[in-house]
Structures are given as C-alpha cells and as structure tokens.
Structure 1
Amino acid sequence: MTQRFRLKILQACPLFFQPRSDRSGKWGNGTPLSGPRVLLLALALSSCGGGGGSSTPALSLSALLPWTWIGGSSTPNQPTTATTPGARISSATWTDSSGNFWMFGGEISSTSDTNDLWVYNPVTHTWTQESAPSSLNLPGAYGTQGTPGTGNLPGARNDSVSWIDLSGNLWLFGGYGYASSSTLGDMNDLWEYVPTNKTWTWVGGSNQINQSGSYGGNPGTTGTPGSRLASVSWTDSTGNLWLFGGKGYASSGSTGELNDLWKYAPSAKTWTWVSGSSSPNQLSMGTSPGARHDSVAWIDSTGNLWLFGGVGYGPTNTLGELNDLWKFTPTNNTWTLIRSGNPLNQTGSYGNSQTPSSTNLPGSRDSSVAWTDTSGNLWLFGGYAYDSTGTLGELNDLWKFTLSTQQWTWVNGSKLANQIGSYGSQPGTQGMPGARYSANAWFSTSGSGSLWLFGGLEGSTNYLNDLWQYTP
C-alpha cells in the first residue's frame, strides 16, 4: 500500500545480526554474509523465532539461498538511469505473449509518483524504457476518449491494477495519483496500451479524481466502478478483465473498503457489476469476501479466480490484517471460502520448510506479491504481515499453495519479520531477497517457469530496485 497511507514500524531479530541501513548483505559488524556464516544464520533464525517451539532449523541450507540476484542495486533509493528503472513500489505490471515483462509507474518516494513505461527482456536481461516523462507527479494526457494517440499518457500513479488481453494489449485501471489535474486522488480511468504502435487510449472512466461508482439496480447490470486504489485483478480465458475490491469510492460518494466484483468485456467496452456490495466496509458473510484492499489474486487452469488476505473486514466489524483464502467460480458467479483466516491478525503457522501440511497457513498480511506457475500452483511472497512470533513487520517468506491438496508449503525465506537480503558480490549470484512489501512481480513460462521480483519498500524510506529470479 502507498506510503501516504501508512508508515511501517521495524522490529529486528535481536540475536546474531541486525538489519543494516545500507542493505549490503552483511552482518551487523560488516562481515560478508557467506560461507560458514550462512549456517550460523540458519541456526540464528531458528533460535530467534522458531514458532511453536520446534527444534527444526528455521531454514535449511538448500532453502536459504535459492534466489538469483539478477540486476538493480543492493542499495536503496536508486534513481532511474537510461538502462534501469529507479527504485519504486506499487507499479502496474504485465507479461506479454513473448515473455517480456512490462512495468508502468509507481511510487518512488512518499511524495512522488512516476508514469514511465518499461519493458524487460528476461532472455537478454535488458531493460528498455518505452516512455520517459519529463518530470514526476505529472497529470495525464487523456486526448479524446476512445481515440489512440502517441501524445496520450496516463498520469503518474501507484496501486493501479493491470491486465493483458488476448491480443497482447496492456490495460490499466485506476490507482492513486494524478488524473487530468495536479491534484492527488483516487482514479477510475481505464486505459489500453498497444505495444505494436506504442499508443495509449483512454477507454473509459473519468479523467477526474474521486468518482463514485455507477452500479445500476442489482448485480448483473452494467455500470462503472468507482475510483479506487489497491484492488486486485484477473484475466480469464475468454479475455474478460476482472476487478475486485480496493479502497475508494462506492456509490453516492461513500468511501472505504470495497468488496464489489466487476467484469469488463473489451470487445463490448462495458463493465458489469457481478457481485459484492455497492456500499463500503462490508463484512465477510461466508458467501462473499469482506471488503479489503492490498490483497493478492491468482487464476487457476480451470478459470477459477483466487483471493488471499489484505487489509479489511472478516466476519466482525473490525478492520485488520487478513489471511483468508477464497475461490470465485465465474461459471456460476459464486464465492467459496477455502480457509477462513478468522480471527484477524493471525500469526503465521509455518511448519517445516518445504513440507506441506494442512495446518500451515501464512500469517495475516497485505501488500504481498503472487504468481501462478506452469503446474497451476499458487505462490505468495512477503508483504506486511504477522510472522511466526506474532510480530507485525515486513517478510520475505515464500509460500506455495497446491490446489490438488489445498495445502500451504513454506518454501523458503524467513519466518521472522524484517530480515535483510543476502546479495552476494554482484548480480548473477545466489542469494535471498530481503523483507519488503508492495514489490512488483511477473511469472515466466519459459522452461520450467520462474518467479521474478522487482523492488518494493523496506521500512518506511528504503525504496528498492533490485531484480530477483526464483525457479521452483
């Protein structure tokens, strides 16, 4: 979630090391984090928060350094260069049919957003800047609605949602930032980017901030979602774009946490209100998720939509961190509760690393990132969450949810909050991303498939631009 809404409080493991402000991947005394010290670190993590009194080390050696640091810096708050995006959080991301990774905008400091567009080639390991705005915090250049133009450009923003359609075009909706003026607010503008001719089109929604939703009479009618940030999205097999929840505007100017579900048909250019409420701050009723923002979402191989966690409401009228898991079946428009996550603010139940169990469950969290792999498994990384000791902070834990068994597996990373990264000496070395939230992510289907992670926020001021790859 954007820094303008929340500051994080860091708490570090008090034993063998402390987080360093320079994020150098070293112990607190400056000694490199490598060799025999890796084993000591694993033992330290076990002693520092084992959770449940288990004598099993918190991390096995095979799980401690499973990621590869590909590029970007191990030092925070890097500026943008001609060849590398600067540090940022809460960008919009896409993966195109050629396997390239796209990234638009994001928050680069507590007072600045950008609206640059980048594409990354994971084969050549190169970034290309598709558009480079002249300054930060720029309002959008909307042009004429429905008309593409090389001069059109969405305003600077963060916490938007994104889709890619069957034709390979990129779609962008809403977020928090700048519409057609220099005033900050929530947005509900819908944009389409066509990579082949490098043009943006303002497709729908308003070019003004803080717009109420237009719901029609009942679910099943056409309308327009209200302005919002930190929603989640899916693209189904027929090319429809789906949008759920967020924080923003419902009907008649009412604001708060949202649990409305919308479907957009690009061919007809229409939104349909599918389910959920036209009023904010709804509780979970067992047949639909409670209102929330900063959740994560997946789509499985059979077309079902999945939703996990976020900040919002469970079955009681209390706002907090969630770790409930839901499945939505588009063929009959029904939600199914898979794991209740009740009560709020739950401590993580990790079990043993790389061992699935029906009792495993990621702690309540928001602002994580998620992927679906080539086998249909759901993956979850980090965020602002409750660790194995009940400490609320940033995490770097990686989880896998297996659909066939409906069990979570803690794969790697720490079960303790606020861990530093292990970078090695240079990009291309094995390591482990540090704890963070509001990072950006992609999944590559080439080969056996791999997870990619870019940037995020460490603490309240350390914006990151490191790029990592993990191959399951």
Structure 2
Amino acid sequence: MNKWARLIFLFAFFLNGTIAITKAQSGQWIWMKGDTTYNHGWEAGQVGVETANCHPYSAYLAGSWADDSGYFYMLGGLKYAQQRAQYYDNIWRFNTKSNNWMLVRASQYLNSVGIYGIRGVPDTNNYPGSRTGESIWKDHQGTIWLFGGYNQYWGNYNDLWKYDVRKNIWTWVKGPNTTGVYSGNYGIKGLADSANLPPPRMESASWIDENDNLWLFGGYCYCYGDKFYNDLWKYDPLINQWTWMGGTDSLDAVGHAGTKLIPDEANIPSARACTCSWADDTGNFYLYSGTNGILNEYTLGDVWKYTTATGQWTWMNGEQQRSVIGNFGSYCVYDSNNYPTTRNEAVCLKQKDNVYIFSGYVNEANSRAVTGRDLWIYNIPSNQWSRIWGDDSHFEGVYGELGVPDPSNDPRGRMGAVGWMDINNNLWFYGGNWGVYSFTEADLWEYIPDTTCISTGISTMKIDQNIKFYPNPATDQLHIEASSIHNATVTISNLLGQVVLQQQFSDNASIDISTLPKGIYLVNIMDERGNVLQKGKVVKE
C-alpha cells in the first residue's frame, strides 16, 4: 500500500474555525484535544450537545467505558485546585469522529453526596454522588454498573448502582446510602446471601463473566489508614446477591504465590489496590501490578490468572518482590526475560491476545518515585512482555501541534489516567496525575500502534540475543554484531513498511545509513532460510 493510501486526512469543523487532524503513521502519538498545563476546570455549554469548546475538567482516577457505537465515556474523578481535592459526579462523552466532548449529565455541586432515591427503583433524579476510584463494568446489554469509590469529605463507599445509558437514568441497587461504615458482611465462602456485602473500598480489580456476573478483587479503604484487601467477590444480578468467592476476610494479607505457572487452590495474590485487570477470550481473569503500601510506598509487578472453571489462581509472570526495576529489552521484541518496572494506577487496554499497559506510578528500588513514560504489550498466549514505546526516563513530554502526528510527540508519564480503544484498535488516554498528586492533566492523546509490534502469540521467530545492532540513535553507520552468522540479510524499512535499504552480510557488518532521512526505522535480520534472528527499531538522527 503506498504512502498516500496510508495517510488519511480528517477534518473537524469547529464553531470558531477549522482544524485539520492528520492521521499518524504507526507507532506515533497525536495530541488530540485539551490543555498542556494542569488543574483545569470544565466548559460544558449545553448539556447533551457536542461543541468544539466543550471539555471536561482535569481528571484523576475517573471511571470509564466505551459503548458499542464507539463513543467514549468518563465518569466522576477528581482534580486538585489550590492543593485541595475537588470530586465530581459528571458523565462526559467523547466522539472520535468529530473530536468533540459532550456533557451527558451533572449535578449542581462539587463533592456531592448524591441522591439515592428508593433502592431498586430507577429515577431521573438519582445519581451516585461525587467519587473517585470506583469499579465500573459494562454488561452485555450495555448497562453500566458501579461499585464503591472514595470521596475524602464523605469517606469510602460500598454501594452498588446501575446506569441505563440510553435513558440516562441511575438506579441504586444495593448497599448502604451512607458512608463511614467500614465493615461489610462476608458470610460463608462460596455461598450467596442477601446479607453479604463487600466492605467499602476503592481501586479494586474488576471483571464481568459471560453470564454478566460482576467480579471484584482487592482494593483499599481509608478506614484506619490505608488498609488493603485480597478478597474475591461475585455479584449475581439475577438474584441481587453477593458471594465471597475466595481470599481472606482480614486486611493486608500477604497471600500465597506458590510455584510460577502452577495453579493451586492455596494460591492467592497478596492484598493490593490500584491494579490492572482484564479477561482473556476463554473467560479467565488476569490481574497485574498494584500497590500495598501507604501512599504507594510499594509497587508490584506480578501477573496472576484466575481460572473461573476451577476457581484457582496461578502466578504467571513477574516477581513477588516489591519496587523492582524492569528489564526493558529491545523494542518490539517479545522475550521471557522482559518485564516492566513495578507500578500501580497504569492503564490497561486489551485487544484480542494482547494487553497494552501504559504509564502509571513507578516507585523503584532506589526510592525514586515517578510517573513512568512507557508503553508495553503483554501477550497472553506466550506469557511474554514487549516494550513498544518509551523508556525509563522521566520528563515533561512533547505535545507538538494539536492534531498533527510527529515521531517526537511524547505524552508525559501519568498515573490514574483513563483509557479507551477505538474501533480501529487505536489507543486513547485522558487525564491522570503527573509526577505528584497535585498536578492533574486535562489532555487527550491518541496512539496508533505499530502493527509489527503486535504478537499473535504463535511466533516462528528464532530471536538470537547475541545478535545486536548499534548505536541507537545512529547517524551514519549502523553496526551489526553477529559472529558465526553467514549469508544473513538485514532489511531496513520505514514505518509504512516500505523497504529503504537491504544488504546481505556474514559475521559482523556496518551498514551505511547516512543517506536515509531522519526518523524511526524498522530493522529485520534474517538468516538464509528466512528465519527472523533479530528485529527492532532504530532512530536515524
């Protein structure tokens, strides 16, 4: 496919003029909307109407979902103003086609307590109140479910709500209509009961199964200081009952990892919050990262799998130590030795067998507390990691021109952002906190993944870690170390997949790249039988 077929020009027509949005080549970021500075208020215009000037507030730990029509939704969240937290209950919708936001609904108050109405009865006046860190599910009918969350002025929640998106109506389903009650009711493990109720919490892992049962693991409560859970719960909407499915009913439990890759009924992840979670295509649940220390003092990097058919946990990947610096490996290379630096409050987005992990709060072993600026893929079938963008540096980012892709564009690292995947499998991210808690973002980014970095999980590559190419970035010469390799071929392509240089070599080689334009290039090294021995990216300066 030629260059002009790959470049698509979209135009968004605003009330105050016209802006051209150029679609990026693969592997590039685009700053799509919002501001480059922190702690912004919101501009709503008319509720229910998209306009170019409409935009949400800076948002940290908001809830999010995407509907079947491709619209993105954001609920609640908080921002900081004059070092003071402001909690919201607004629902926002973003249209990727028009590049515009719309305010769906909001109350008149910051830090609102909500209106519960009558339990089980939908009402246009009902709404859950301002909160952050709530668990969100979307069932197969498109209904949105919400549990828990936190507002520092009112406390932790353990109420359950459902939201009819089409009718724009909330229903209080279960749990108390007050906060400050720090206990739940576990009942008997494995037995549903109308009296069962998870204790209040925020930032839990969550999944939904094929029967629309809601699942919940862990989280934490500002009950008596930060207290972390490792309990597993299931809610059945048909009978309106919770079931305590596993884990302990005590706080700050250490868990039991067992042997890596071996399921066991005794296995259970340690207590934690601020995790990533997803389900594979066979209905098993996955859990990654998190924290179990006060003020994110300790970060985690282990991957767990819960097999719903057997009710057993398996420690799949990563280490059990806290605050571990990662092994980044080569770009776009899947390797069992690769793993990200431990983190929490990252964004996880699943596309088939691959899970994208973006940024988060990184507290490394040298006590450097930062927000990471990296993007990884975890491939479920191979149980391997690959870094596809970023590194372990930490700076304020490069926004470039609004709506225009550029290889140098770089969203700064952030924690507690929200994310979506569009119908073209492109990634979108909004908000979060940068660096420290008092800087809340109000920017929207799109990332077009490099399809050559996406693994099918069935690899025919014979990656040889002894084959290396350097320097990176390179200016005139790209050197290849490949001793004892004969009749190999190095192919260099641009990000459109067009071959710009190809050369055969044996053993070590130096490739003249001085005539190539500046940019990012893909490097493939193959043996005489066509097996890929090494691959990656190089930056030509």
TM-score, reference length from structure 2: 0.70
Correspondence 1:177 to 2:154: no
The aligned residue for residue 360 of structure 2 is 383
The aligned residue for residue 234 of structure 1 is 207
The aligned residue for residue 167 of structure 2 is 197
Pick the aligned partner of 2:87 from 103, 113, 122: 113
Secondary structure, aligned partner of 1:438: coil
Distance 2:348 2:209 in 1: 17
The structure, 1 or 2, with the larger RCO (C-alpha pairs under 8 Å, 6+ apart) is: 1
The aligned residue for residue 396 of structure 2 is 420
Secondary structure, aligned partner of 1:246: strand
The aligned residue for residue 53 of structure 1 is none
Cα deviation for residue 386 of structure 1 reads 4.3
The aligned residue for residue 36 of structure 1 is none
Secondary structure, aligned partner of 2:234: strand
The aligned residue for residue 272 of structure 1 is 243
Letter of the 1:203 partner, please give it.
V
Asked if the contact 1:221–1:272 (Cα under 8 Å) also holds between the matched residues in 2, the reply is yes
Equivalent pairs, count: 396
Distance 2:274 2:73 in 1: 20
The aligned residue for residue 189 of structure 2 is 218
The aligned residue for residue 248 of structure 1 is 221
Cα deviation for residue 342 of structure 1 reads 2.4
Asked if the contact 1:423–1:429 (Cα under 8 Å) also holds between the matched residues in 2, the reply is no
Q: Which has the larger radius of gyration?
A: 2
Please show how residues 77-226 of structure 1 align to structure 2 within 5 Å: 77-82=39-44, 83-109=54-80, 110-177=84-151, 183-211=153-181, 212-222=183-193, 223-226=196-199
C-alpha distance after superposition, 1:372-403 (max 9, x if no partner):
01x32111111111469874311121010111
Letter of the 1:80 partner, please give it.
W
Greater shift in the superposed pair: 382-391 or 452-461: 382-391
Distance 1:442 1:145, change over 3 A: same
Distance 1:191 1:289 in 2: 27
Cα deviation for residue 186 of structure 1 reads 0.4
Asked if the contact 2:157–2:179 (Cα under 8 Å) also holds between the matched residues in 1, the reply is yes
Pick the aligned partner of 1:332 from 310, 313, 320: 310
The aligned residue for residue 40 of structure 1 is none
Distance 1:256 1:380, change over 3 A: same
Distance 1:388 1:428 in 2: 37
Distance 1:389 1:377 in 2: 31
Letter of the 1:256 partner, please give it.
K
The aligned residue for residue 291 of structure 2 is 311
Secondary structure, aligned partner of 1:158: coil
Correspondence 1:450 to 2:426: yes
The aligned residue for residue 254 of structure 2 is 283
Secondary structure, aligned partner of 1:457: coil
Asked if the contact 2:90–2:105 (Cα under 8 Å) also holds between the matched residues in 1, the reply is yes
List gaps (5 residues or longer) in structure 2: 1-24, 45-53, 258-266, 450-541
Distance 1:255 1:353, change over 3 A: closer
C-alpha distance after superposition, 1:221-245 (max 9, x if no partner):
4311111111121122221211110
Cα deviation for residue 319 of structure 1 reads 7.1
TM-score, reference length from structure 1: 0.80
Asked if the contact 1:346–1:390 (Cα under 8 Å) also holds between the matched residues in 2, the reply is no
RMSD: 2.2
Asked if the contact 2:339–2:385 (Cα under 8 Å) also holds between the matched residues in 1, the reply is yes
Asked if the contact 2:324–2:365 (Cα under 8 Å) also holds between the matched residues in 1, the reply is no
Asked if the contact 1:215–1:221 (Cα under 8 Å) also holds between the matched residues in 2, the reply is no
List gaps (5 residues or longer) in structure 1: 1-61
Distance 2:381 2:189 in 1: 35
Distance 1:122 1:310 in 2: 30
